[in-house]
Structure 1
């Protein structure tokens, strides 16, 4: 290791001054031990939840009846096995604390669950938003070893310097400022040691837990939630995917110079290391942003609306972890999007339906917005589609009557609407929830930059432009040309299909009419034999005769025709 890898004196003090703490080096748990640890917390959470439920029933004055008696007995039996610190906390707090104790994978799980306000109670999602967002940092020498292994060269050959104090430390990666050998200021993101193996191992355990919970609480769709989490997390631990995402976003916005995504240094990136352009910008709520002129701030909010709408409804490829910390205001002013590891994808049919839904919302069409939202959902067993549409129509009507952004936001309207889904057994794709997060972030940033910001009014203009783009003659022609090979193939086969069809009709027309009693012949003879056998028995005919008639009737009844 070279100069960069040398541990600077007083690094621990420098980290503490920035609010960080060093990660303790621990041996990764084996699969069996990890399984036992996970099960211990899972069972502790069930027991703690039971204790919290009994306590809540007492506080609400509903502590009576046979069911409560059995609940209290079960809580008393499990009480000694619940952590004495956690058992006095409400269930949402117990859940958050246990996720934090289980480590990075489960913290990431909690952060994703906090978005699912369409499935989980608000008390749980609100508490999960308080999960740790700044985790202990890995010392620079450890990261240097990972960088050198991934890039297959000395870190001094790749960078002039790397700041030992990180910009951020999340559950999966850690970011540092650095300078390339060419003098370019960059950001280096490194996957923490052991993180790649941990999610893969934890994913197997979580999928098993998801199947068990699906039997206990199917209305919350735990199996679906776990599968979504595992898919997103396993993609995030490969930083090559984030590099691909950044380049895809840049390609989608080549015609918009005021929207920026960090350039990727491919020769300094790999599976565990990502080197990208450093954006020298400020956050939307910073004093520097507030000092911009009203015209510049209005331009930024308009630019933000255009960017989000294009990502969602034109490209179907959008930033799925959008929050104010991932938005920067750059000189110009321009908007910069960072932290592109988590993206959402919308297929063409879903994208079109979402566009119609959003357009109906901003136009104040409550009934059609409810119809499109119901079309997006997947009805579960016993779903009440009509009841869901009535409820959503009422929510949209209330929003329409609101006089300002402060009273009701468009993102909150969508969130309130989809949160009614579980009640009516209507379930939504995770992409819809991620879309709502993007809209809520955009609304919040717009209101910070421009008080009184009207998201519906700003959105109308950009959606009209998008409709013109979607239904332009050239685009419709291109859509038709995509299906041209199938149309040509069908036209080529059409004469043959028509000829074959006519031959079949001709054969049917020339067939002699069939006697309608033909199919009943066997049944009639069998019935006659049965009657004859019964009469023979009555008149004392020798048994071989009537037995033979019974046998003949039996075999004829088995035949058709």
Structure 2
């Protein structure tokens, strides 16, 4: 049943399920959040009038006062089912969106949902694959291996004899989640209007981020692509196994992959494998994902890392992944090097470069806060430091200064924290510096290769050329505006002649600076890419000409600096 609600911030909102909306509000009241419901109820809107028509059971204040707010939030999410459980699980990995207390509590959320009947699963598989179950699989175990809020997993065998597992999406879960998210957005907008203090938390933004994340997770083709990409990335690593995906038996609602037989990495001793060696493989694999591939498993907990015969590990459940572009990886490397070297200024610069800030930053105060966090590790051997925990603390500190760290950086911090905890559990003597140093060195070498530097210089030169190329057209537009008396200039000056002289000098300096920059860039490009088979006094011609360009640029630069100094002295 659909109900139209008007009078909200956006023109029209829909409550797709009247009973579901009432259920959500009832659960909030039951767990001690009746004051939020009352805020909505007393709002002067159609939503407030709708809530006024509901009847809620009385709130047992004595019962809710015995548990914390974080525990009550977890109970709300638990009682409301798949959408809210998934939201809670995502919030438990996002220190930028939830407090430490709430994050820890939400990590205890469980998918306590009953399995749906096999005939429903069979029907969905046959509709999605377009063939009978017997035609697709040689055998199929009707008892699910596992059940979760979004779907459940079955074991089967392909006709060629390969053992596989099949994820089948829970019937109706997509429409339920879409309905719940529309309700969340509606309530979040209304709460922001009624309680201005909530705007700093940005509940609407949180729900919209969640909407994007869960939409990707509901489409199993995303997980299939992730699995294939991870498998290609670790193809040449004999210690890491990624289950093969089978696109011909996969759709948006059904995902078929190779079955991995092993045990949780924390139970590796049962296979007679040295857990310390597996700790090294696990931490090295995740560091490789982060620093070299820029594409990482966002939830590498023990249930998602299996130990296999022969001392190998396998990564499972690739639905939640994170991405770091090249620039973020370089900044992360700078941050870690600064932490290892206890360089507070360098750490603050790297941290600021990783984020986005709309307002000016109080650098002195920011550096003090970074210093306070880093003082926790000064004098402590790096082998005893939980590096990922310090990184998370720094990210949280940046957030307090209105620096917006990209969400995937938080995912990366949580992934490193999780795998570091797993590795230390397997090997208490693990040295994180020994594990991470080779990855940082490779990243730094890649950062400074002549090919990459040349490519970067070429890109900047191309951008400068584009700007110069646009100047004539822009100048023509300005002249056209002047001809039609449509260009307005506001000049506030007393000494017109003096001002014009200053403008002329400034233009001259800008032109000279452009010439110097062009000489530096072209000389670098000439040295890097030019292939002239000619020697000048035994030295390659491109090197001589490139150095000559640098010298001319240096002389011009010195001349410009002297002029600036003279002008400053006169002033």
Query: What's the TM-score, normalizing by structure 1?
Result: 0.71
Q: Which runs of 5+ in 2 are unaligned?
A: 1-14, 38-55, 481-492, 497-571
Is the CA contact (8 Å cut-off) linking 1:104 and 1:171 kept in structure 2? yes
Query: Taking structure 1 as reference, are residues 49 and 386 closer, same or farther at Cα in structure 2, changes over 3 Å only?
Result: farther
1:420 alignment counterpart:
397
1:165 equivalent among 128, 143, 147: 143
Query: Taking structure 1 as reference, are residues 346 and 281 closer, same or farther at Cα in structure 2, changes over 3 Å only?
Result: same
Cα distance between partner residues in 1 of 2:65 and 2:143 = 38
Cα distance between partner residues in 2 of 1:487 and 1:253 = 39
- Deviations 1:388-446 (CA, angstroms, capped at 9, x unpaired): 3322222123223234756x411211222223345444443221211111101221222
Is the CA contact (8 Å cut-off) linking 2:31 and 2:75 kept in structure 1? no
1:103 alignment counterpart:
81
Q: Secondary structure at the match of 2:70?
A: helix
- Deviations 1:5-27 (CA, angstroms, capped at 9, x unpaired): xxxxxxxxxxxxxxxxxxxxxxx
Query: Taking structure 1 as reference, are residues 416 and 49 closer, same or farther at Cα in structure 2, changes over 3 Å only?
Result: farther
1:281 equivalent among 234, 256, 262: 262
Query: Taking structure 1 as reference, are residues 108 and 382 closer, same or farther at Cα in structure 2, changes over 3 Å only?
Result: farther
1:216 equivalent among 169, 192, 197: 197
1:440 equivalent among 374, 399, 417: 417
Query: Taking structure 1 as reference, are residues 290 and 114 closer, same or farther at Cα in structure 2, changes over 3 Å only?
Result: same
1:261 matched to 2:242 = yes
Aligned length: 447
2:336 alignment counterpart:
358
Give 1:244 shift.
0.8
Is the CA contact (8 Å cut-off) linking 1:168 and 1:175 kept in structure 2? yes
Cα distance between partner residues in 1 of 2:407 and 2:475 = 49
1:270 equivalent among 224, 242, 251: 251
2:541 alignment counterpart:
none
Is the CA contact (8 Å cut-off) linking 1:113 and 1:225 kept in structure 2? no
1:4 alignment counterpart:
none
Cα distance between partner residues in 1 of 2:117 and 2:271 = 36
Is the CA contact (8 Å cut-off) linking 2:78 and 2:85 kept in structure 1? yes
Cα distance between partner residues in 2 of 1:38 and 1:144 = 32
Cα distance between partner residues in 2 of 1:415 and 1:431 = 12
Is the CA contact (8 Å cut-off) linking 1:379 and 1:425 kept in structure 2? yes
Give 1:197 shift.
1.3
1:308 equivalent among 272, 286, 299: 286
- Deviations 1:36-93 (CA, angstroms, capped at 9, x unpaired): 3334444665635799xxxxxxxxxxxxxxxxxxxxxxxxxx9934587546432112
Cα distance between partner residues in 1 of 2:131 and 2:331 = 49
Query: Taking structure 1 as reference, are residues 485 and 286 closer, same or farther at Cα in structure 2, changes over 3 Å only?
Result: same
Is the CA contact (8 Å cut-off) linking 1:362 and 1:457 kept in structure 2? no
Give 1:367 shift.
3.0
Coordinate RMSD, CA, aligned: 3.5
1:466 alignment counterpart:
443
Is the CA contact (8 Å cut-off) linking 1:374 and 1:389 kept in structure 2? no
Q: Secondary structure at the match of 2:377?
A: helix
2:546 alignment counterpart:
none
2:19 equivalent among 1, 24, 33: 33
1:252 matched to 2:238 = no
1:395 alignment counterpart:
373
Cα distance between partner residues in 1 of 2:67 and 2:251 = 44
Q: Bigger CA drift: 219-228 or 377-386?
A: 377-386
Give 1:30 shift.
4.3
Q: Secondary structure at the match of 1:286?
A: helix
| 1:72-471 matches, cutoff 5 A | 80-81=58-59, 85-86=63-64, 88-214=66-192, 215-288=196-269, 291-293=272-274, 297-298=276-277, 300-379=278-357, 384=362, 386-403=364-381, 408-471=385-448
Give 1:306 shift.
3.4
Cα distance between partner residues in 2 of 1:290 and 1:219 = 51
Cα distance between partner residues in 1 of 2:92 and 2:475 = 61
Is the CA contact (8 Å cut-off) linking 1:240 and 1:270 kept in structure 2? yes
Cα distance between partner residues in 2 of 1:404 and 1:347 = 27
Q: Secondary structure at the match of 2:262?
A: coil
Query: Taking structure 1 as reference, are residues 255 and 477 closer, same or farther at Cα in structure 2, changes over 3 Å only?
Result: farther
Larger Rg: 1
Is the CA contact (8 Å cut-off) linking 2:141 and 2:155 kept in structure 1? yes
Q: Secondary structure at the match of 1:217?
A: helix
Is the CA contact (8 Å cut-off) linking 2:157 and 2:164 kept in structure 1? yes
Higher RCO (CA 8 Å, separation ≥ 6 residues): 1
Q: Secondary structure at the match of 1:443?
A: helix
Cα distance between partner residues in 2 of 1:279 and 1:97 = 34
